[in-house]
C-alpha cells in the first residue's frame, strides 16, 4: 500500500512538470533584423535621439490581437534587433523626425535580415560646422525642408559628456546663444545660422583634460504627422 502511494505521488509530480516541459520546447528567436534609416535624397543616415527618439513599431502577424513591439533606433540612425522570430510583420515608422511610413506583411526570414529604410526627414541640417574658438564653441549651418514650405520651430547647439547628446541628454547651458526658440517661419535654404556656447560662463560644465560632444539639432512645426521629433547633424567630439 505504501508503495502504491509513493507511485501515485511520483505520477502526480510528473504531470505537474509537463506544462513547464512543453514551454521549454518552444522555439526561441531565430532571426536578426538590422539596418538603417536613410535620407531618400542624400543617402545619409537620419540621426535621432536614443531616448525618446524614432522607433520601429512592429506587430507580428498570425495572432488575434498582436501586441506592439518597439524596436529602438540608435542615435546615429542605425538599428539592430538580434532576438526576432522569423515571420511576417506590420511595421510602422511614425512619431519620428521623418514623414510616416508603414510596411504591411513585411517578411523577416530565419537568420540575418538587413534592410535600409528610405525616408523623407522633416529637416536636413546642411553644411554643419562646430569649432572651438578660444572661449566659445561656435556652430554654423543652414537648413533645408524635407518638403516644400516646412516651418522651422526651434534650433539648438547641444552639449554633453557622451555621444548620446541631444534633446533628451544635454547640459543646461547658461548665458549663451546656444538656442533659438519659436522661430516659426518657412525654411529658407539660403539663410545661414550661427549658435554658440560661452565656455567662460559655463566653467562648471566643461573641465580641462576632458572631451565633450556637441550636436546641432532642429525641430519642425508640422500638423497631422503625430509626434514630431528633432533632426540632427552628426555629433562632434572636442577635447579641452
CATH number where 44 lies: 2.60.40.1120
Task: Return the closest-CA partner of residue 37 out of 74, 66, 1.
Answer: 74
124 secondary structure, DSSP code: E
The pLDDT tens digits along the chain (240 residues) read 434 343 333 443 333 334 433 444 558 899 999 999 999 999 999 999 999 999 999 999 999 888 999 999 999 999 999 999 999 999 999 999 999 999 999 999 999 999 999 999 999 999 999 999 989 999 999 999 999 999 999 999 999 999 999 999 999 999 999 999 999 999 999 999 999 999 999 999 999 999 999 999 999 999 999 999 999 999 999 999
Structural domain harbouring 234? 123-239
- What are the Cα distances from residue 87, in Å, to 23, 135, 205? 20, 55, 48
Q: What does DSSP say about strands 31-39 and 111-119: parallel, antiparallel, or unpaired?
A: parallel
In a domain, 97, yes or no: yes
Domain-ending residue, one of 78, 98, 119: 119
Q: Looking at the structure, do residues 96 and 180 belong to the same domain, yes or no?
A: no
**Distance from C-alpha of 157 to C-alpha of 134, rounded to nearest angstrom:** 17
CATH code, domain with 188: 2.60.40.2060
- How many structural domains are present in the chain? 2
Q: Looking at the structure, do residues 130 and 225 belong to the same domain, yes or no?
A: yes
* Sign, CA torsion 132/133/134/135: negative
pTM: 0.86
Burial of 175 per CB tally in 10 Å (0-12, 13-18, 19+): exposed
Domain-ending residue, one of 119, 136, 167: 119
**Distance from C-alpha of 152 to C-alpha of 156, rounded to nearest angstrom:** 12
Domain-ending residue, one of 119, 142, 163: 119
Amino acid at each position: 500500500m505504501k508503495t502504491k502511494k509513493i507511485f501515485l505521488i511520483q505520477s502526480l509530480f510528473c504531470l505537474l512538470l509537463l506544462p513547464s516541459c512543453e514551454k521549454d520546447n518552444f522555439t526561441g528567436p531565430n532571426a536578426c533584423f538590422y539596418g538603417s534609416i536613410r535620407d531618400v535624397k542624400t543617402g545619409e543616415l537620419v540621426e535621432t535621439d536614443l531616448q525618446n527618439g524614432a522607433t520601429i513599431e512592429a506587430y507580428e502577424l498570425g495572432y488575434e490581437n498582436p501586441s506592439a513591439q518597439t524596436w529602438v533606433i540608435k542615435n546615429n540612425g542605425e538599428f539592430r534587433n538580434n532576438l526576432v522570430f522569423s515571420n511576417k510583420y506590420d511595421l510602422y515608422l511614425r512619431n519620428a523626425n521623418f514623414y510616416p511610413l508603414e510596411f504591411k506583411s513585411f517578411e523577416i526570414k530565419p537568420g540575418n535580415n538587413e534592410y535600409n529604410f528610405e525616408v523623407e526627414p522633416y529637416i536636413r541640417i546642411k553644411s554643419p560646422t562646430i569649432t572651438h574658438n578660444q572661449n566659445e564653441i561656435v556652430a554654423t549651418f543652414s537648413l533645408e525642408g524635407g518638403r516644400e514650405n516646412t516651418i522651422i520651430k526651434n534650433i539648438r547647439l547641444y552639449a554633453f559628456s557622451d555621444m548620446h547628446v541631444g534633446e533628451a541628454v544635454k547640459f543646461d547651458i547658461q548665458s549663451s546663444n546656444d538656442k533659438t526658440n519659436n522661430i516659426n517661419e518657412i525654411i529658407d535654404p539660403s539663410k545661414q545660422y550661427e549658435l554658440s556656447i560661452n565656455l567662460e560662463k559655463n566653467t562648471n560644465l566643461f573641465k580641462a583634460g576632458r572631451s565633450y560632444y556637441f550636436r546641432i539639432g532642429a525641430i519642425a512645426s508640422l500638423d497631422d504627422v503625430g509626434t514630431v521629433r528633432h533632426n540632427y547633424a552628426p555629433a562632434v567630439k572636442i577635447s579641452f
